[in-house]
């Protein structure tokens, strides 16, 4: 068994070498925001979607457009607005007068990497159209269903400041996002580097390092990473503590949590922990991989009660308490 893990470890170390090339190119353009870039890579390798929350100007658009150039994938930015229609997203049927028939005009969703900018500004019909694309990896236009190309990743952004004219995202849609990442301002030193990098005559450029097929191959390898039964039990303990905190010695959290994490959280926590290990060239998952990614998997899945809101307790506070209580294997 140990020999198998050792062989797998060596294979993963070899298979994950391209990650350093991608991150090296990203560093040419993105200063700081290491956590955001790493979570973007984890979502890409785990075949999931990413919800980013942060004030404008933190390189969210730049990060995903740069990544698309590095991996030679098609990229589309969609600005979500209150008057956006599903057809603006997925496409529509157009009448062709010459041939006297309707033809399908595909929308911007037919790309590899999608930036859904300020996703909470669009109405419910648009959200449902996006939901089908995210979950089923297909789009239905009239009676025709079209499969989306792989890899397919939606990076959605939310502006936490301006709430005028926004629609709260349905819980079912929020749960479809594998990770929710909250990003903050760069440090003073990082901002100085940003000033120097982007104030010159020529903007920094990146090179294509891999192709989409390499990413799809890496996804298969990520799913081969060894996860011990103790690690699986650790993941389940964390998830079940969000549902039944009293069973884990967290009686005071029972009235603060309305709904715990769904079974999707268990699946996502396992695969993202594998991707976290892959980025570090390891063929096995450690408890630290699980702890490192837990907050991003759970912060939007633990629904706090009115009592928690009154006491100004956030879902992040609850997740920290749970991670601090559950015994690490």
Give domain limits for the chain: 18-215, 225-325
- Token pair recorded at residue 175: 């749960």
* Sign of the four-CA dihedral 66, 69, 70, 71: positive
Which CATH architecture does the domain made up of 18-215 adopt? Answer: 3-Layer(aba) Sandwich (3.40)
Q: Residue 268: what pLDDT? A: 96
Given a cut of 80, is residue 197 above it in pLDDT? no
Which whole number is the average pLDDT over 112-123? 88
Residue among 187, 225, 213 at smallest CA distance from 72: 213
Looking up tokens 């500004």, which residue turns up?
Answer: 121
Average pLDDT, the chain: 88
Given a cut of 70, is residue 201 above it in pLDDT? no
Distance between CA atoms of residues 202 and 319, nearest Å: 44
Q: How many CB atoms lie within 10 A of CB 134?
A: 23
Given a cut of 90, is residue 179 above it in pLDDT? yes
Residue 141: pLDDT band by 50, 70, 90 thresholds? confident
Residue 58: pLDDT band by 50, 70, 90 thresholds? confident
pTM: 0.89
CA 142, 143, 144: angle at the middle one, nearest 5? Answer: 95
DSSP characters for 55-74?
A: -TTSSHHHHHHHHHHHTT--
Given a cut of 90, is residue 27 above it in pLDDT? no
Distance between CA atoms of residues 265 and 238, nearest Å: 10
Given a cut of 80, is residue 247 above it in pLDDT? yes
Residue 184: pLDDT band by 50, 70, 90 thresholds? confident
Answer CATH for 225-325 from 1.10.8.80, 3.40.190.170, 3.90.930.12, 1.10.10.10: 1.10.8.80
> Which region holds residue 126: left if phi is over 0, alpha if psi is between -120 and 50, else beta?
alpha
Q: Residue 165: what pLDDT? A: 60
| Half-sphere CA count of 74, side-chain side, radius 13 A | 10
Q: Is 107 in a helix, a strand, or coil?
A: coil
Given a cut of 80, is residue 200 above it in pLDDT? no
Cα-based distances in Å from 194 to 24, 29, 241:
16, 9, 42
DSSP 280: T
Q: Residue 128: what pLDDT? A: 81
274-326 pLDDT per residue, tens: 999 999 999 999 999 999 999 999 999 999 989 988 999 999 999 999 999 99
- For a pLDDT cut of 90, what percent of the chain falls above it? 43
Given a cut of 70, is residue 161 above it in pLDDT? no
Q: Residue 47: what pLDDT? A: 92
* Cβ proximity of 58 and 246 under 8 Å: no
Residue 162: pLDDT band by 50, 70, 90 thresholds? low
* Cβ proximity of 112 and 75 under 8 Å: yes
* Sign of the four-CA dihedral 229, 234, 238, 244: positive
Q: Residue 163: what pLDDT? A: 60
DSSP characters for 29-50?
A: H--S-HHHHHHHHHHHHHT--E
Q: Residue 11: what pLDDT? A: 87
Give phi and psi for 291, each to the nearest 5. -65, -35
């Amino acid at each position: 068994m140990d020999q198998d893990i050792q062989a797998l470890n060596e294979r993963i170390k070899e298979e994950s070498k391209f990650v350093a090339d991608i991150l090296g190119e990203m560093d040419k353009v993105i200063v700081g925001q290491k956590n955001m870039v790493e979570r973007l890579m984890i979502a890409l390798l785990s075949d999931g979607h990413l919800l980013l929350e942060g004030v404008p100007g933190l390189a969210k658009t730049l990060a995903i457009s740069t990544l698309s150039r590095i991996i030679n994938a098609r990229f589309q930015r969609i600005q979500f607005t209150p008057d956006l229609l599903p057809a603006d997203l997925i496409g529509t049927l157009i009448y062709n007068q010459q041939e006297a028939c309707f033809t399908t005009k595909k929308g911007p969703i037919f790309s590899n990497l999608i930036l859904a900018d300020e996703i909470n500004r669009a109405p419910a019909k648009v959200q449902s159209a996006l939901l089908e694309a995210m979950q089923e990896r297909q789009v239905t236009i009239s009676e025709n269903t079209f499969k989306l190309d792989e890899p397919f990743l939606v990076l959605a952004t939310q502006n936490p400041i301006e709430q005028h004219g926004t629609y709260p995202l349905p819980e079912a849609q929020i749960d479809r996002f594998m990770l929710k990442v909250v990003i903050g301002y760069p440090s003073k030193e990082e901002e100085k580097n940003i000033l120097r990098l982007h104030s010159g005559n020529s903007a920094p450029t990146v090179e294509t390092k891999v192709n989409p097929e390499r990413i799809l191959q890496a996804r298969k390898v990520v799913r081969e990473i060894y996860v011990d039964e103790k690690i699986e039990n650790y993941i389940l303990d964390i998830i079940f503590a969000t549902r039944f905190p009293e069973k884990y010695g967290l009686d005071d959290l029972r009235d603060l949590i309305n709904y715990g994490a769904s079974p999707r959280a268990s699946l996502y926590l396992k695969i993202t922990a594998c991707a976290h290990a892959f980025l570090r060239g390891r063929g096995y998952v450690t408890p630290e991989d699980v702890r490192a990614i837990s907050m991003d998997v759970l912060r939007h899945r633990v629904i706090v009660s009115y009592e928690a809101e009154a006491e100004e307790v956030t879902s992040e506070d609850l997740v920290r308490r749970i991670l601090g209580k559950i015994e690490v294997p």
